[in-house]
């Protein structure tokens, strides 16, 4: 693309975001045509969130509808909030109640949680989402600007500075994004808003309360006085004529519809809330013995956020300010000075770590005499927690280590599982600024993420027979496989407790450990292998566990507890690696789909004790020999003693009935449409079939490769079955699971070192 083409794209982008200024009458016509653009602050924020749509996710083992707005879709997910969907949904529910005026108008939304739980991402996500929504036709945001030039001798006093201005420079925008409809007298505005709501296709009506801001009121009063002196009879028309008043749209951003008070911001409560007087300007403006609102800075958080959103970040640093906010939601009003007030329309959100709650509860023992009781009553608390879903934590960890921003939205658990387990390559620069590619082997991110999640789970009330890894898997996908059976989380009666996600190992700690490991140049595995650039799951797990004791964020008790939990994670991850090796060893022995379908057809014919017609219109007679061969050679579940000739015994009969026929019928029933028609059923999509046909064990290896010796795996003698099998296995691991040659070698060696102990 040429430079001119980039310029053209930039022009098109700005042209789409901005409109030409319009008269007040034109604005009213536009609002009557598209009522939602006149929405009050909380409704506008709600509209922006709902406009992005929803998607279905699984968290804590339950399907939930999640607003895509919090995936930061306008910025390719750069500041997406992962997890905490219930908290975000509750936040939206509060907005809906506030927007509709259903009893929560006086509430200040409080988002609390420990570090690295997504609170700061929420702030950025809100800013990004509102900015981009305001660029769309449905999300246009408008305010007014004034021009008093030519209305009287003192016209040049309408300024933020002391330099006289002319023409376009004579226009001054409301410094607090005042709503254009506040220009109308109360009675006219009430009728106009009523007509707007009649045309609004929404159950939440638009409200336009309050009056013009002090700056705009100064302009309005000045113009009204000039025209009244001139004997003008249609004062409102004169004051609001296009020469003096016009409506313009603006792109929402920090300082322009969004106010953000950071932890480092200083000043008196008044300065932080609304701004400060500019005393030099007071002397220059003709104020006639009073404070002129034109000489006010309007740089406080409420001034910047008027019209949409006010965020107090790290609220514990501004605890003194919170009490000053008490009446703002109630009265929608704040004072610049004793005699000058400003109506505000903004959604208040405060964000804090748990230390704010400690400050608010410092007088709790005084009960009814608690001076902070009124403040606490107005705070509507929503608590962010650490992620308790493996897939979300894996995604977050990858984002922390790379520049990946896309939000995972898989179509199936199998697809999601592949993403969790896949390797990661990171370019690391050394002291001389040369780049080296470092590999996190398959299952390494999975292992690190799983350990973090397991550290955050409540170990109490886990069903008998399950461990914390099982609980983590249930929270992530909603079921476990017990043998051939899929058991859903509801069957275990397992629910998230108040302690799940309340504490644990934060993603930042794991990220820093991995970053340190990536910069280690020496080989930690085998001196005979050039694999110094490979990090294995056990490397990360050991380093994270060993680093707990020295990390200042963990108490001694926490470090001990979390260190003990690493064992179950190591066992699980080894099982994953072991299955990769087994699948790679047996790749060319895997049964093809046509053979599976043929077996299923013969089982159905056997069950009906008659011919059946398959999907291809062919008649199928049950063949006892074919079923027997499949069950012995491919399934590996039975042997000759289970058959008298080709006739199955009770165990085989029960397997065919319970595990094949019933499972397929159940799957077909679940796949039916509204007219009870069943779409094509792929037998391998059924958990029991997929498990039976897709998993192998060492008995399968021993039966298939009689001369295989795992003890020889590291350096197998040439020409042996072990050497041939190893070469084939490593190639398959690279091809099937995205291992590199080095990580395939290391993983297979690790697996075989454990298998050797129990081989005989």
pLDDT band at residue 589, thresholds of 50, 70 and 90?
A: confident
- Which structure tokens are listed for 254? 């920090």
Strands 333-337 and 309-312: unpaired
Q: Per-residue pLDDT tens for 195-227?
A: 999 999 888 999 999 899 999 999 999 999 999
> The whole model's pTM is what?
0.81
Q: How far apart are CA 245 and CA 225, in angstroms?
A: 15
Distance CA 64, CA 70 (A): 14
* Measured CA angle at 553 (ends 550, 554), to 5 deg: 70
Q: What is the pLDDT of residue 684?
A: 56
pLDDT, one tens digit per residue, over 363-408 is 666 666 666 777 777 888 899 999 999 999 999 999 999 988 888 9
Helix (H, G, I), strand (E, B) or coil at 17: helix
- Residue 160 predicted with pLDDT over 50: no
Q: What is the average per-residue pLDDT within 266-278?
A: 89
Length of the chain: 760
Which phi and psi angles does 441 have, rounded to 5°?
-60, 160
Residue with the larger pLDDT of the pair 446 and 689: 446
CA 344 to chain centre: 31
pLDDT at residue 705 tops 70: yes
- Confidence (pLDDT) at 482: 79
pLDDT, residue 667, reads: 65
Q: Which residues of 185-213 are buried (b: 16+ CB within 10 A; e: fewer)?
A: eeeebeebbeebeeebebebbbbbebbbb
Cβ contacts of residue 228 below 8 Å, gap of 6+?
Answer: 235
State residue 676's pLDDT score: 41
Handedness of CA 442, 448, 453, 459 (dihedral sign): positive
Name the residue among 748, 759, 758 with its Cα closest to residue 578: 748
- State the burial class of residue 717 (Cβ atoms within 10 Å of its Cβ: 0-12, 13-18, 19+): exposed
| pLDDT value at 14 more than 60 | no
What integer is the mean pLDDT of 115-119?
84
The answer to whether 701 touches 582, Cβ cutoff 8 Å, is yes
pLDDT of residue 158: 42
pLDDT of residue 139: 93
Task: Phi first, then psi: give them for residue 346, nearest 5 degrees.
Answer: -150, 150
Query: Whole-angstrom Cα distance, residue 539 to residue 440?
Result: 10
Q: What 3-state DSSP class applies to 483?
A: coil
- Region 450-479: what's the mean pLDDT? 92
Q: What is the pLDDT of residue 156?
A: 42
Q: How far apart are CA 683 and CA 677, in angstroms?
A: 17
Q: Give the whole-number percent of the chain exceeding pLDDT 70.
A: 86
Confidence of residue 430 (pLDDT cuts 50, 70, 90): low
- Cβ partners under 8 Å of residue 421, min gap 6: 442, 443, 446, 576, 737
Q: DSSP string spanning 510-533? A: HHHHHHHHHT--S-SS-TTS--TT
Distances (CA, A) of 280 to 162, 277, 703: 10, 9, 93
> Of 170-179, 195-204, 315-324, 558-567, which gets the smallest average pLDDT?
315-324
User: Percentage of the chain surpassing pLDDT 90?
Assistant: 49
DSSP 8-class letter at 659: I
Of 432-446, 462-476, 605-619, 639-653, least confident by mean pLDDT is: 605-619
Helices assigned H by DSSP within 200-241: 214-229, 235-239
d(CA 44, CA 50): 10
Residues with Cβ within 8 Å of 544's Cβ and at least 6 positions away in sequence, in order, are 448, 451, 505, 509, 510, 513, 566
The predicted structure's pLDDT at residue 650: 92
In whole angstroms, give the CA distance from residue 418 to residue 410. 10
Please, are residues 138 and 36 in contact by the beta-carbon 8 Å criterion?
yes
CB 208, CB 189: distance < 8 Å? yes
* pLDDT, mean of residues 142-153: 81
Q: Are strands 479-482 and 333-337 parallel, antiparallel or unpaired?
A: unpaired
- CA–chain centroid gap for 732, Å, is 35
Least Cα distance to 345 among 209, 254, 214 occurs for 209
Residue 382 vs residue 285, higher pLDDT? 382
Give 480-518 pLDDT, tens digit per residue. 887 667 888 988 888 888 889 989 999 999 999 999 998
Q: Which residue has the higher pLDDT, 683 or 118?
A: 118
Distance CA 670, CA 657 (A): 18
On whether the CB atoms of residues 216 and 172 are closer than 8 A, the answer is no
Beta-strand relationship, 172-173 and 253-254? unpaired
Confidence of residue 15 (pLDDT cuts 50, 70, 90): low
CA–CA distances in Å: residue 302 to residues 181, 325, 337, 708: 20, 10, 14, 74
Give 370's contacts (C-beta < 8 A, 6+ positions apart): 363, 364, 376
Identify which has the larger pLDDT, 11 or 19.
19
The pLDDT of residue 176 is above 90: yes
For the record, the structure tokens of 480 come out as: 């476990």
Q: How far is CA 696 from the centre of its chain?
A: 36
Apex 433 CA angle, 431 and 439, nearest 5: 90
CA gap 723, 715 in Å, rounded: 8
Give the residue among 83, 88, 110, 94 at the shortest CA–CA distance from 500: 83
Please compute the mean of the pLDDT values over residues 119-134 and round it to a whole number.
Answer: 92
Give the pLDDT mean for 100-106.
76
How confident is the prediction for the chain on average, in pLDDT? 85
pLDDT tops 80 at residue 675: no
pLDDT tens string 320-353: 888 788 778 878 899 888 889 999 999 999 998 8
């Amino acid at each position: 693309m040429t430079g001119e083409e980039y310029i053209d794209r930039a022009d098109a982008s700005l042209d789409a975001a901005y409109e030409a200024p319009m008269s007040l009458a034109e604005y009213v016509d536009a609002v009557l045509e598209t009522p939602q653009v006149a929405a009050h602050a909380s409704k506008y924020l709600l509209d922006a969130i709902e406009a992005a749509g929803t998607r279905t996710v699984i968290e804590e083992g339950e399907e939930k509808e999640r607003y895509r707005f919090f995936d930061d879709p306008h910025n390719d997910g750069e500041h997406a909030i992962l997890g905490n969907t219930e908290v975000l949904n509750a936040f939206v529910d509060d907005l809906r109640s506030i927007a509709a005026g259903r009893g929560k108008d006086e509430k200040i939304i409080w988002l609390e949680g420990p570090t690295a739980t997504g609170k700061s991402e929420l702030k950025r996500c809100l800013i990004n989402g509102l900015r981009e929504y305001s660029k769309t036709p449905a999300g246009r945001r408008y305010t007014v600007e004034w021009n008093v030039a030519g209305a009287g001798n003192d016209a040049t006093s309408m300024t933020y500075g002391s330099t006289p201005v002319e023409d376009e420079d004579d226009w001054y925008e409301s410094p607090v994004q005042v709503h254009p409809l506040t220009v109308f007298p109360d009675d006219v505005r009430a009728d106009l808003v009523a007509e707007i709501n009649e045309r609004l296709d929404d159950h939440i009506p638009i409200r336009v309360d309050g009056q013009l801001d002090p700056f705009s009121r100064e302009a309005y009063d000045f113009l009204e006085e000039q025209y009244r002196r001139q004997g003008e009879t249609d004062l409102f028309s004169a004051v609001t004529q296009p020469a003096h008043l016009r409506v313009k749209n603006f792109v929402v951003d920090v300082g322009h519809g969004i106010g953000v008070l950071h932890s480092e911001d200083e000043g008196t409560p008044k300065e932080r809330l609304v701004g400060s007087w500019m005393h030099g300007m007071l002397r220059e403006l003709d104020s006639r013995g009073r404070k002129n609102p034109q000489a006010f800075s309007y740089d406080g958080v409420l001034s910047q956020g008027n019209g949409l959103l006010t965020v107090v970040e790290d609220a514990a640093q501004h605890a003194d300010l919170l009490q000053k906010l008490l009446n703002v939601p109630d009265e929608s009003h704040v004072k610049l000075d004793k005699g000058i007030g400003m109506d505000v329309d903004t959604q208040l959100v405060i964000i804090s770590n748990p230390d704010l709650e400690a400050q608010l509860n410092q007088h709790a023992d005084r009960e009814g005499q608690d001076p902070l009781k009124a403040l606490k009553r107005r705070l509507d608390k929503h608590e962010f927690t650490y992620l308790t879903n493996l897939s979300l934590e894996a995604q977050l960890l990858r984002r922390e280590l790379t520049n990946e921003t896309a939000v995972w939205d898989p179509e199936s658990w199998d697809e999601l599982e592949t993403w969790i387990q896949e390797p990661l390559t990171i370019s690391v620069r050394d002291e001389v600024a040369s780049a080296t590619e470092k590999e996190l082997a398959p299952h390494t991110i999975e292992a690190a993420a799983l350990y973090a999640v397991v550290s955050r789970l409540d170990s109490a009330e886990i069903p008998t027979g399950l461990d914390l890894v099982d609980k983590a898997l249930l929270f992530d996908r909603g079921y476990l496989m017990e043998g051939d059976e899929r058991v859903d989380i509801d069957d275990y009666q397992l629910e998230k407790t108040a302690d799940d996600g309340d504490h644990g190992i934060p993603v930042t700690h794991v990220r820093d450990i991995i970053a340190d490991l990536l910069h280690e140049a020496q080989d930690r595995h085998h001196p005979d292998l050039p694999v110094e650039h490979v990090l294995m799951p056990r490397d990360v797990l050991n380093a994270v566990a060993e680093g707990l004791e020295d990390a200042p964020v963990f108490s001694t008790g926490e470090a001990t507890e979390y260190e003990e939990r690493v064992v179950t994670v190591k066992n699980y991850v080894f099982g994953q690696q072991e299955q990769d090796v087994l699948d790679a060893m047996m790749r060319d022995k895997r049964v093809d789909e046509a053979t599976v379908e043929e077996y299923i057809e013969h089982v159905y014919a056997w069950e009906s004790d008659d011919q059946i017609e398959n999907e291809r219109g062919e008649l199928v007679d049950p063949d006892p020999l074919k079923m027997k061969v499949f069950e012995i050679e491919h399934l590996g579940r039975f042997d000759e003693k289970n058959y008298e000739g080709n006739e199955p015994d009770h165990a085989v009969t029960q397997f065919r009935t319970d595990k094949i026929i019933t499972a397929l019928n159940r799957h077909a029933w679940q796949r039916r449409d509204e007219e009870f028609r069943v779409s094509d059923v792929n037998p391998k999509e059924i958990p029991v079939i997929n498990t039976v046909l897709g998993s192998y064990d060492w008995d399968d290896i021993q039966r298939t490769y009689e001369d295989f010796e795992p003890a020889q795996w590291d350096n197998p003698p040439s020409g042996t079955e072990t050497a041939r099998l190893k070469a084939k296995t490593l190639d398959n691991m690279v091809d099937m699971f995205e291992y590199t040659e080095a990580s395939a070698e290391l993983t297979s060696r690790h697996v075989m070192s454990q298998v050797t102990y129990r081989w005989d």
